[in-house]
Structure 1
C-alpha cells in the first residue's frame, strides 16, 4: 500500500479525522517514498567503501524531510505510515535520543580499540578519528533513517552532530525526522551554541522543512478531558488508566495481552519498560522507585517517552524515605522534559509524603504534580521547556 493510500484508509475507517495539514504531509511523504523506490545508486560498492572514496560516484538521493509542529498533531503517526509503507531496504525508524546514545557508545568503543582492533572491526586502517567509520557503519545499516523527536539538549550531542550528519548525508543516507521545534530553535540557548549552528545550516540545506500544526492536539483530544491523577489505587483507577493508554496509542483493547515491552540501556544497565507503545510507557511505582534507579535512569525515561503512566503510588512515610527521594528525582526529570504523567495513587499530591526525611523538599514535588495536571502543562510539547 502507498503512504497516501494508507493514510486515506485510516481516515475512511474513522481511525483518523480528516485533517488538511496531515493530508498535505502524507502526500509529501508519498512523493518521497516513490522517489526513494525509483532511486538506483550507480555504485555497487559498499556504503562503507563509498564513504571512504571507493566505488563510482552514485546518483543524487532524494531530499529528506524535517517535520515540526506542536505536540499531538500527528507527526509520529505520519512518519510511521511512511516508514512502514516505503519499499526501500535497509531502513530504520528510531527515537533520536536512542540513536544518539548508540552513536556515543560506538564512538567510545572506537576510542578504546587499538589499531589492530580498529582494522578488524572496520576492515581497514581508519586512523584515529571515530566519526567517519562510525557514520559508515550506521550508513551500511540504513539507506533511510527515520528519527522521532529530534531535539538537542546535551552539549555532547551538539558537538558531534554536524560532523556525524555530514558524513551520513555524504554517504547518501536519506533522513526523515520529526521535532517539536523548527531547525533554527534546536539547542536554543545551549552552551557554545555558535558551534552548533553549522548543523542547523546542514539540515536546512539537505532536508525540506515542513510545518504540521493543524488545529487539533490529537493526544489531548484522545483523552477527552479524562483526569490524569486518580485516587485511590484500585480496579477503577487501573481501568481508567488502561483506557487512557489505549486511547493514546490507538491500540486495540482486545489485543491488550500483546502490548509490547521495551528495554532501555542506561550506562551499561538495562531497564525493563513493561509496556511501551508509540511513546507511551507504563510502569509500577515499585519498579521505578523501590529499585535502585538514579537520575540518569529517570532522564533516559523522560527523554524517550512523551507520556508515562504509573500505577500503585503508595502513601509515603519515614519508612519509605528512599522511595520518596527517588520519586522526587523521577518527577523532576519528567517535569523537566514536559512528559505527560498519568497515575494512580493512594493519596492526593499534598498528602503523599508529609512526614520523613525530605518532607519539606517534597513540597516542590507536590507543586509539580499539581501543575502536571493542568491544561497548560498538558498542551506543552515533549522536551525541555524553552
Structure 2
C-alpha cells in the first residue's frame, strides 16, 4: 500500500536511515508501528486523490461519491519506548495539507474557549442556549483533517463531559486522529469522577482508530542518559557542545519544532522540542513572568528538559532565583529528567547573604545534585510522556 510514496518520505524509510546512521538501534516493535503509520499516510493520500476526482466528476455531471475517512491510530505504551519519535517522523512525512499536531491538553483548553465563545454568539443570535458543539466541530473539521495528539490522556471532568459530543461530530466530518498515550484506551479517565460520561467516547474512539501497543524492549531514553554527564559547568564552549550532543542523542537528530503550551489562559512558547524533549534557555523560563503552575505544565508536557545558561544568581536577581526554585521543584516532583549547563556547581549557584531564597535554595541545590544521579535518571515514577 505504501509503494506509491517514495521511501525517503516514509516513516519506515526515515527510521531506517536513522538506524543506518547509528543514531538508534532497530527495534521490531517500533518498525511495526512505523509500517502502520505509513499505511495510514498512504490511505490519507489515496482518499484525498479520490475526493478530488469525485469533485471533478461532479463538475462534469457525474455523481459525486462520498469517500470514507481511513481509521486513525492510537499508539500507547510505557515511557521512553519511542512513541513521540515515531509521531515526529509521521507528522513530517504526512501528505495531508490540513494537518495539526497538538498536546491533547492544549487542544482541549482551546476547544473549551471556542465552545464558550460559540455559546455566547448563539445565545445573542437566538435568544436561547443552542448547542455550541456543532459550529465548533465544523470549524475544527474545516481547518484540520488530520489531528495528531501527543499525551492523549483525560484527567478533567470538563474534558470528559465534552469529548463524546465533540468527537462524534469530528469523526462524522471525516477527521482522522493519530494519538500517542501511556494509557490503554480502556483505562482513560480510570477512577475519574462520573466516568460514565466518557464511556461512549471510548467506545467511539476504538471504532475510529486502530489501537497499537508499542511494546519496545526497553526505555531508550534512560539508556541514552545512563552514564551521561547531565550537569555541565562552567558555561563555556565545552559545556554548550556537550549540551548539543545530549540533545542530538535524545532526539535522534530528528528536526525540532516549536509549539505553544497553554496554562490558565496564558501561553508558554516552546521554541525547540522533539521526541518529548524541550530545550529552554534560563532567560526563557526564569526571566519571564512564569509561575509555579506554568512550570508544572511544562513538567507534565515533556519527559526531559534541557536548560541552557544558568548563571550565578545574586541577591538583586531574587525573582529569577525564585522562579528557578519553582522550576526545579516542578521537574523534581514529576521526575522529569534535567540536562543543564550552569556557571557553577549547585551549592554555589545562589550568591546572597540573606533572604528566604537562601534557605529555599539549599533544597534546590540538593535536588539538582540528586537529579544528576543514576538513581534519579533510572526512576520512571510520575513521568507521563
Counterpart of 1:176 in structure 2 is 178
Partner residue in 1 for 2:232:
230
Compared CA separation, residues 134 and 249, structure 1 to 2 (3 A): same
1:336-376 deviation digits (Å, cap 9, x = unpaired): 44432111234444554585214444455445434433445
Aligned partner of 2:58 in structure 1 is none
Q: Displacement, 1:262?
A: 4.8
**CA separation of 1:42 and 1:166: change in aligned 2, threshold 3 A:** farther
1:154 aligns with 2:156: yes
Q: Secondary structure at the match of 1:147?
A: strand
SS where residue 86 of structure 2 aligns? helix
Unaligned residue ranges in structure 1 (runs of 5+): 46-55, 120-124, 253-257
Q: Contact 1:314/1:347 (CA < 8 Å) preserved in 2?
A: yes
- Describe the shift of the 1:43–1:145 C-alpha distance in structure 2 as closer, same or farther (beyond 3 A): farther
Match of 1:163 among 165, 172, 179: 165
Quick one: structure 1 residues 44 and 164, their matched pair in 2 at CA, closer, same or farther if it must change by over 3 Å? farther
Please say if 1:306 is aligned against 2:303: yes
- Aligned positions, number: 366
Are 1:342 and 2:323 counterparts? no
Q: Which runs of 5+ in 2 are unaligned?
A: 1-5, 56-63
Question: Over residues 249-303 of structure 1, what are the superposed CA-to-partner deviations in whole Å (9 max), with x where a residue is unaligned?
Answer: 2338xxxxx9765555555555444433444332232332233222343234334
1:17 corresponds to 2:14: no
> 1:66-215 residue pairs with structure 2 within 5 A?
66-113=74-121, 128-215=130-217
Residue equivalent to 1:281? 278
Counterpart secondary structure, 2:356: coil
Q: Answer yes or no: is 1:290 the counterpart of 2:298.
A: no
Q: 1:147 to 1:311 in 2, by over 3 A?
A: same
Asked if 1:372 is matched to 2:374, the reply is no
CA 1:160–1:218 in structure 2 vs 1: closer, same or farther (change >3 Å)?
Answer: same
Residue 250 of structure 1 aligns with which residue?
252
Q: Residue 306 of structure 2 contacts residue 338 of structure 2 at CA under 8 Å; is this kept in 1?
A: yes
Q: Could you say what the CA RMSD is over the residues aligned between the two structures, in angstroms?
A: 3.7
Offset of residue 189 of structure 1: 4.5
Q: How far, CA to CA, are the matches of 2:38 and 2:110 in structure 1?
A: 29
After superposition, the Cα gap between the structure-2 partners of 1:79 and 1:241, relative to the gap in structure 1 and judged at 3 Å, is: same
Q: 2:69 aligns with which of 40, 61, 69?
A: 61
The structure-2 alpha-carbon separation of the partners of 1:373 and 1:297, relative to structure 1 and needing over 3 Å to count, comes to same
Separation in 2 of the partners of 1:171 and 1:143? 9
Aligned residue for 1:113, secondary structure, equals: helix
What is the distance in 1 between the residues matched to 2:194 and 2:375?
A: 31
CA–CA separation in structure 1 for the residues paired with 2:289 and 2:25? 44
Aligned twin of 2:356: 357
- What is the CA-CA distance between 1:67 and the residue it aligns to? 0.7
2:31 aligned with 1:29, yes or no? Answer: no
2:79, 2:384 within 8 Å by CA — same for their partners in 1? Answer: no
Show CA shifts across 1:74-121 (max 9, x none): 21222233333344342323332332232123223323435567x9xx
